[in-house]
Amino acid sequence: MSDAVEVQIDGLAGPTHHFAGLSHGNLASLANAGWSSRPRAAARQGLAKMRAVMELGVVQAVLPPLARPDIGFLRGCGFAGDERAILTQAAAEPHLLSVASSSAFMWAANAATVAPSVDTADGRLHLIGANLMATPHRALEGLARTAQLRRLFRDPALATVHAPLPASTALGDEGAANHCRFALEHGLPGVHLLVYGRGHGLTADRLPKSFPARQTREASMAVARTLGLPPARTIYAQQLPAAIDAGAFHNDVVMVANRDRLLVHERALVDQAAVLKQIARLVPGLRIHEVRDADLPLAEAVRSYLFNSQLIDTADGMVLLAPMQSSEGAPAKLAQRLIDDGFIGRVQFIDLGQSMANGGGPACLRLRVAMTPAERASLAPGAIIDATTLRKLETHIDMYYRESLKLADLADPQLALEAQTATAHLESVLGMRSGTLADS
């Protein structure tokens, strides 16, 4: 796999993107509940980030939005009749309607956990869909996203997409947001770090006090077994409870890694010194930059989402694609220090205001997959995008997405029709045949 490269697969915000505070433990989501959202801007900002990644010379792919509102979910809640009648009834239960209309699938980092073919027992690329059991709105995504990923990675001789773990809170799995892979090159055997927040037998004094821990130890171990990861190169670590209570509901809010680089806040993990020593022993040449709380307090790290940046390797060196919220103050000073130390070549700040207002930064929006040329060539047609496709997607967004959206609008049958029409039209924009990626 000497010619393997990392493909960035981004989720796209849907027409029903809104702010309802559905994510307990996500400070931005809770703080902005009830705001009027801007679906067109949300999707446009995501496309702008994809363009920035492509301009760095990185392969970029896109996952279409899932169908929302999820009428099947609402029927399962006891609402009956045609779609208009169901939406009218659901208006009396706005929380359930919001769950059914969530656009949280835009954060593709939670879609799955990935093991490149160089790391697995059978030499094939493996992915396992995340069950996202911690929150009702995200639990709706697991099977539908897995179906999309199976259409995307369509050659079973090269890739296997596993179903999510059983739908049990004891096996809560949040996908790649709690997973890091280290290797000197993408095509070399890697070391996998899987981070969990809770597990059977952990006493109350070893768990967060204010917010729930979403990923379980049992899920992390089951994910590693399913992916076929070598035990000798797989590490499990507990997320520091204080980090979760500070708003780091996923580990990627306090840690980011790529190849031979690891940027981590000093208050990210339990027994962090021992964990970092173990990783460094398995990955000679690994560069670790551990950020002191005195230089960037944990609360500021969570507010700015600096650690939720994309750390991207390019022909010109490592680039940190960071949210605009980290462009001033202590986060900006830290980014400059990373440049001065040669840890990264440069930092590029990007506006993702709509995603950030719901608690998702640059790294949340993408699932990354190290792939060989043959594996990339086997992807479903239309998945990998170029500048022309991006322009078509921008036109599509401007045509089908509303400028603004209030929570009360979710009960509007016209909005549901607009979302359905947008989903159908997107298939033609991406050049996908019926039954391929867009047919989810």
User: Which residues participate in catalysis according to the annotation?
Assistant: 174, 250, 364
Distance set, CA 241 to CA 198, 270, 382, 435, 438 (Å): 9, 8, 42, 44, 39
Helices (H), 248-344: 272-282, 298-304, 329-340
Read off φ and ψ for residue 8, nearest 5 degrees.
Answer: -95, 120
| Distance from C-alpha of 213 to C-alpha of 243, rounded to nearest angstrom | 10
Going across the sheet that includes 60-63, the strands are 60-63, 5-11, 366-371
Q: Are 115 and 192 in contact (CB under 8 A)?
A: yes
Q: Are 174 and 110 in contact (CB under 8 A)?
A: yes
285: region left, alpha or beta (phi > 0 left; psi from -120 to 50 alpha): left
Whether omega for the bond prior to residue 284 falls within 30 degrees of 0, making it cis, is: no
**Amino acid identity, residue 295?**
D
| Distance from C-alpha of 140 to C-alpha of 1, rounded to nearest angstrom | 35
| Distance from C-alpha of 227 to C-alpha of 401, rounded to nearest angstrom | 37
Read off φ and ψ for residue 60, nearest 5 degrees.
Answer: -125, 130
398: region left, alpha or beta (phi > 0 left; psi from -120 to 50 alpha): alpha
Comparing CA positions, the residue from 67, 23, 2, 96 lying closest to residue 355 is 23
| Distance from C-alpha of 70 to C-alpha of 274, rounded to nearest angstrom | 45
